[in-house]
Amino acid sequence: MEHVAQRAGVSLMTVSRALREPSLVAQPTRDRIQDAITELGYVGSAFAVQLASGRTRLVAVLLPDLRNPAFAVEMQGLAEGLGEGLELIVSGVRGSGTRHDQVARALLGYKPAALVIHGGRHSHEMRELLVRSNVPIVELGSLVARPINIAVGYSNRAAGRVATEHLLQRGYRTIGFVSQSRKDNSRADDRWLGFREALRAAGITPRPELELETSLGYERGAEALKELLCREPKIDAVFFTGDGWALGALFYCQRENISVPGRVAIMGFDDQELASQTVPSLTSIQVPRYRMGWEAGTLLRSQLDGKAPERKRIDLGFKLVHRQTT
Amino acid sequence: MEHVAQRAGVSLMTVSRALREPSLVAQPTRDRIQDAITELGYVGSAFAVQLASGRTRLVAVLLPDLRNPAFAVEMQGLAEGLGEGLELIVSGVRGSGTRHDQVARALLGYKPAALVIHGGRHSHEMRELLVRSNVPIVELGSLVARPINIAVGYSNRAAGRVATEHLLQRGYRTIGFVSQSRKDNSRADDRWLGFREALRAAGITPRPELELETSLGYERGAEALKELLCREPKIDAVFFTGDGWALGALFYCQRENISVPGRVAIMGFDDQELASQTVPSLTSIQVPRYRMGWEAGTLLRSQLDGKAPERKRIDLGFKLVHRQTT
DNA sequence: TTGAAAGCGCTAACAA
DNA sequence: TTGTTAGCGCTTTCAA
């Protein structure tokens, strides 16, 4: 910045001003400075700015898994809700526990304008750290009961229950359940709670052998269905807590000439764009992914501008989309 | 940090050391410091560290569109290739041109350890800025001819040619082409160049009315196919430069009882996981997305550790995966 | 409209 | 093994 100042024949201070508040600098001076900047290819140091001013233009995001397209949509919503002038610093953490905490610490080190966390529960120390950090926290996705600041999401438990009730209502009685590891993934656990709840309410005794945990991937869905059909041939519906598995299972049925929903009904979760396109089209739970990100973004933006309350819990709900596989 | 020092009864410097090089600090001192840190909930300032040390733990990433799952996979690869201790600062830029340049500038302001850019051509000024910034640049995706530092990718043009040659070889003669706006998207343009090249080489006169530009989305694929069939009923194959469109078109055919590949053959691009699962399964071009990210990550990591050459061009190639739709 | 001095929170280089 | 001094590149406050 000093070089620029010299070249433009002004003091360092004037350059700084020309960059932040151009209106305070005389037009000709401003032009000279601008020229110097382009000639020298000057790019200011965001770090120094933030250190000196205390203001930050970073929003930190902690995601369970970068691969999941659902999160990508949320990010786009977040980016667009926040608007210009804020950068996103994104970390994906696979697995859970300590690594999650570590990364959160590292992100907090950037004193971000806000920290957006997708995915339910934090350890006690984590929560403590988050609260004390004084950084606005957005909990995205699962709607936590007691948000630290802002929570935007929907109830995974209610969604799990509604999905299951739908299957029961359509007359299915022997229902399988496929999810990620419930231990590592609170969303999976919540959906499972809803699943069990609905079964019990209908007077059906849950059968653990019909509940499968697997990893992400279309093929895992096919395998899961195969396994379930083998364990209990009388199974008449499967609730996959992710569209990926559900679609994989659906294509498996097509290959094997298993009639859907005649022989077995398939229920997905997340209503990916593809769900409406397949033949038969997939019944699923629609979650407002983009909107979640966007809502969090705009709320954050207005809070950063000092216009919004510090605590808020926004339930964006979900929607059962009944299509042909159930 | 001073508070921590006071509480632990040592100087600020010792705390700094305990954080960076614990081996230089006596065990009991270290413990006291650690206690003070947890009690105070201290989180260091990454900015101050960067400013004082000149070292950065940030890798900036510039993506054309956050939504695209293909990029998400690259990011995961990149994150894992880089290993621990580096944060990713990600920006998605839809559209192109000036906004792209602006965001790149903003990212450069963080003096990142490296800047990863996905997607071909930069404006002249941009290139100038990148070169002068002295930040290692990774150009990911399209393999540029003259990389600034590191380029990791494959040739979109060659991929487009190979895909088209495959269709020609299978006997298709009236071939449609669907892509994003070639003006805004250099990858689309490159694939198109390959497409035209192959047609000419086979002695077929290209017909612009069989070339369609559209936006992303499964449904856009269905619409594109419908439109093409209407414009030229004798069309016998369509090269979709994205699996999303190809799958959308495939499901459209299923709904409308159009035989694939009997009535019309469908060729995709990117070989999404889903491509192998559908019935009929989709012929596509496989691009090593994860590997591209990972390769860039490890290369960058070793360059940051001072172990790798500054310039490199890595062609990871691509693979035609012949399945049932052609 | 412009400039000078002090300092943001940390680390590098040196000294004890 | 620990402490001291200077300064990273900018902004804030105050003065000209």
List, for residues A195-225, the tens digit of each pLDDT value: 999 999 999 999 999 999 999 899 999 999 9
pLDDT at B227 over 90: yes
Over pLDDT 90: what percentage of chain B? 56
Q: Which range has the worst mean pLDDT, A3-7, B93-97, B115-119, B304-308?
A: B93-97
Beta carbons within 8 Å of A220's beta carbon, 6+ residues apart: A214, A244, A245, A248
What's the DSSP call for residue B283? Answer: B
In degrees rounded to 5, what are phi and psi of residue B66? -65, -25
Q: How far is the CA of B21 from the C1' of D1 (A)?
A: 13
A200 CB neighbour count, 10 Å cutoff: 11
pLDDT of residue A266: 98
Q: How wide is the angle at C-alpha B159 spanned by C-alphas B153 and B160, nearest 5°?
A: 135
Nearest CA in chain A to B129: A41
What is the number of CB-based contacts under 8 A between chain A and chain B? 141
Mean pLDDT of B172-197: 95
- Spatial separation of the C-alpha atoms in residues A50 and A61, rounded to whole Å: 19
- Spatial separation of the C-alpha atoms in residues B153 and B144, rounded to whole Å: 8
Mean pLDDT of A101-111: 88
pLDDT of residue B94: 67
Beta carbons within 8 Å of A216's beta carbon, 6+ residues apart: A65, A67, A68, A180, A242, A244
Q: B137, exposed or middle or buried, with CB in 10 Å at 0-12, 13-18, 19+?
A: buried
pLDDT of residue B186: 86
Query: Distance (Å) from the C-alpha of residue B145 to the closest C-alpha of chain A?
Result: 24
pLDDT of residue A120: 63
Strand D surroundings (CB within 7 A) = A 1-2, 12-13, 16, 19-20, 44-45, 48-49, 51-55; B 10-14, 17, 24-26, 29, 48, 51-52, 54
- Spatial separation of the C-alpha atoms in residues B91 and B108, rounded to whole Å: 12
pLDDT of residue B151: 93
pLDDT at B134 over 90: no
- Which of A89, A248, A273 minimises the CB distance to B277? A248
Mean pLDDT of A17-39: 90
pLDDT at A227 over 60: yes
B21 nearest nt, CA–C1': C11
Q: Is the CB of A11 under 7 A from strand C?
A: yes
The mean pLDDT of chain B is 91
Q: Which of residues 120-149 of A touch B (CB under 8 A)?
A: 128-129, 132-133
- Which of B110, B219, B279 minimises the CB distance to A47? B110
DSSP β-bridge partners for residue A176: A238
Nearest CA in chain A to B72: A67
Chain-chain contact of A110 with B87 (C-beta, under 8 angstroms): yes
Q: How far is the CA of A54 from the C1' of C7 (A)?
A: 12
Over residues A130-170, the pLDDT tens digits come to 888 888 999 998 888 888 899 999 999 999 999 999 999 99
DSSP β-bridge partners for residue B255: none
Structure tokens at B220: 């856009």
Structure tokens at A300: 């954050």
| pTM recorded for the entire structure | 0.85
Q: How far is the CA of A86 from the C1' of D8 (A)?
A: 24
- Spatial separation of the C-alpha atoms in residues A42 and A2, rounded to whole Å: 10
pLDDT of residue A207: 97
pLDDT of residue B230: 97
Q: State which amino acid sits at residue A9.
A: G
SS3 state at B266 = strand
Query: Distance (Å) from the C-alpha of residue B114 to the closest C-alpha of chain A?
Result: 14
Name the strand (E) or helix (H) holding A224: helix A218-231
In strand D, the nucleotides that come within 7 Å of a protein beta carbon are 1-5, 7-13
**Which ranges constitute the DSSP H helices of B232-288?**
243-256
Mean pLDDT of B213-228: 96
Name the strand (E) or helix (H) holding B140: strand B137-142
pLDDT at B96 over 60: no
Q: How far is the CA of B5 from the C1' of D2 (A)?
A: 12
pLDDT at A66 over 90: no
pLDDT band for position A95 (50/70/90)? low
- Which of A69, A105, A255 minimises the CB distance to B72? A69
Beta carbons within 8 Å of A326's beta carbon, 6+ residues apart: A166, A167, A170, A172, A237, A261, A265, A266, A267, A283
Q: Which range has the worst mean pLDDT, A14-18, B34-38, B129-133?
A: B129-133
- Which of B48, B111, B274 minimises the CB distance to A45? B111
What's the DSSP call for residue A270? Answer: B
Structure tokens at B52: 């004082």
Mean pLDDT of A239-264: 96
- State CA A229 to chain mean position distance: 32
- A304 inside 8 A of chain B by CB: no
Mean pLDDT of A192-196: 98
Structure tokens at A228: 């379930």
Q: Which range has the worst mean pLDDT, A11-20, A41-50, B262-271, B302-311?
A: B302-311
The mean pLDDT of chain A is 91
- Which of B92, B107, B129 minimises the CB distance to A76? B92
Mean pLDDT of B221-239: 97
- Do the Cβ atoms of B31 and B25 come closer than 8 Å? no
**Contact residues on chain A for B218, CB-CB shorter than 8 A:** 273-274, 277
DSSP β-bridge partners for residue A237: A175, A265
Beta carbons within 8 Å of A191's beta carbon, 6+ residues apart: A156, A157, A159, A160, A163, A179, A241, A269
pLDDT at B321 over 90: yes
pLDDT at B93 over 80: no
Chain-chain contact of B69 with A71 (C-beta, under 8 angstroms): no
pLDDT of residue A222: 97
- Spatial separation of the C-alpha atoms in residues B123 and B253, rounded to whole Å: 41
- Tell me how far apart the terminal alpha carbons of chain A are, to the nearest angstrom: 65
Q: How far is the CA of B52 from the C1' of D7 (A)?
A: 8
